[in-house]
């Protein structure tokens, strides 16, 4: 068979298979649907035959897949092999690496800090060292993400890296002997905690990865040993992560058999309730939860659950509103598909998902704080940059984080916890009760009007 027509047939067959897989009822749909399918195949053929540059079938079909998924919502996503691999690493909470925090400085991939108890720290890599070559490959001019990817790999695998270090006397960078590293499982820090004044504990949770619940429990135990009387749980700029992790953390503070969150989708099997199934470790600890526009997904599950169960005061700014449950399925060639199959609802039935595409629904979705404190996002980001500015240096004592940036949201939380959060929770309950009573009255009036209208004789007319 002619190669040109063979290639064309492969492209068409692949396109038909793809559409048929995602839309199993396409072939039994109305004629309009079949016509669209034929149009798609015709466009694919015409582009391959006539576009000014030669295009291969894989590129075109991948573009078609992205187009289909992009039409759904802002969170469904086609993942190329690299993105799919990174997603698995992120949700697992560990990866094979060296333990180096890197940045691009003066055009060079530069070590900001080696992480303690990692191969880089043990080898004596110093802050300010420049990475020159990875396994013999020059990385000058390379993007930071690309350079980081070269250093990652399977746990136990080896990598050879050449670095340079600044000579303090001459001010010039001198090449160091080649490092021979064996990659280890690196567990990123996801929890930072400390004791504030008046025995108020503070926990900043970076995200909900595979180790979050374990690390939060450790932090709570340490703070309890120090006499913690109240807690601030900081979820600002927390993008979310694992649904189970969010439920497990909420369960630490909630009473027995309370609803944490439930999911609902088009299929009955996607309905799922998450309830507390045991006595909480900290059921009576006064709490404040901090959120902002960067708090999303699992962060909103936790804050919504604690808010609806009157367990904590939510302080800060309205959250992002990402409340979609996604299922990730592997595809051929190492790619993946992240598809929205359901949405999150708080215990009281509030849909957290915000519809950013429909401007008429701009005021719907997200978690609204009980106490709003508006802060410029750039100013608020400086608060969290303090954690990233800590530099670990082999041979020197571990430094402490210096908190110099103003944080009005945290200040408000401390004030509320000192005065008693139960006042705000009680006031919120009164407002909710008044709103319910008003809604019931309006519904009753509407029902009476409907009954009165139905009681009028048919065909009655004025004389």
Cite the active site residues. Answer: 297, 308, 322
Torsion of CA 75, 76, 80, 81, to 10 degrees: 90
Residues 195, 196, 198, 201, CA torsion sign: negative
- The full length of the chain comes to 463
Q: Where does residue 459 rank: exposed (0-12), middle (13-18), buried (19+ CB within 10 A)?
A: exposed
């Amino acid at each position: 068979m002619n190669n040109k027509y063979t290639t064309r047939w492969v492209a068409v067959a692949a396109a038909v298979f793809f559409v048929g897989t995602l839309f199993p009822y396409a072939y039994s749909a109305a004629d309009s649907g079949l016509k669209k399918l034929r149009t798609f195949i015709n466009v694919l053929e015409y582009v391959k035959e006539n576009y000014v540059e030669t295009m291969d079938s894989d590129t075109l079909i991948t573009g078609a897949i992205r187009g289909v998924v992009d039409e759904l919502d802002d969170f469904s996503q086609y993942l190329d092999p690299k993105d799919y691999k990174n997603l698995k690493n992120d949700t697992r909470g560990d990866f094979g690496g060296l333990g180096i925090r890197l940045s691009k400085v003066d055009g060079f991939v530069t070590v900001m800090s080696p992480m303690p108890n990692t191969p880089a720290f043990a080898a004596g890599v110093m802050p300010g060292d420049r990475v020159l070559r990875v396994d013999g490959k020059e990385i000058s001019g390379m993007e930071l993400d690309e350079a980081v990817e070269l250093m990652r790999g399977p746990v136990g695998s080896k990598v050879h890296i050449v670095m340079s270090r600044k000579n303090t006397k001459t001010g010039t960078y001198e090449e160091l002997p080649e490092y021979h590293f064996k990659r280890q499982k690196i567990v990123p820090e996801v929890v930072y905690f400390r004791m504030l004044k008046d025995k108020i504990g503070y926990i900043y949770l970076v995200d909900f990865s595979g180790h979050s619940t374990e690390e939060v429990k450790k932090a709570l135990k340490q703070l309890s040993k120090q006499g913690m009387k109240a807690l601030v749980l900081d979820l600002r700029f927390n993008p979310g992560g694992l649904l189970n992790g969010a439920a497990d953390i909420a369960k630490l503070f909630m009473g027995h058999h309370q609803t944490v969150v439930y999911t609902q989708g088009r299929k009955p099997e996607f309905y799922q309730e998450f309830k507390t199934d045991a006595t909480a470790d900290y059921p009576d600890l006064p709490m404040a939860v901090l959120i902002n526009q960067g708090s999303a997904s699992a962060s909103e599950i936790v804050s919504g659950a604690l808010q609806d169960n009157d367990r904590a005061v939510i302080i800060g700014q309205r959250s992002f509103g990402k409340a979609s449950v996604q299922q990730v399925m592997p595809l051929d060639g190492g790619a993946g598909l992240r598809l929205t199959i359901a949405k999150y609802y708080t215990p009281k039935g509030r849909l957290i998902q915000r519809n950013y595409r429909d401007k008429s629904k701009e005021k719907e979705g997200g978690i609204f704080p009980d106490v709003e404190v508006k802060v410029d996002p750039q100013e608020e980001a400086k608060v969290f940059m303090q954690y990233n500015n800590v530099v670990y240096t082999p041979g020197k004592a571990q430094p402490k984080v210096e908190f110099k940036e103003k944080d009005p949201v945290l200040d408000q939380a401390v004030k509320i916890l000192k005065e008693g959060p139960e006042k705000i929770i009680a006031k919120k309950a009164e407002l909710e009760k008044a709103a319910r009573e008003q809604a019931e009255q309006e519904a009753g009036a509407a029902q009476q009007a409907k009954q009165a209208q139905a009681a009028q004789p048919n065909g009655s007319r004025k004389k």
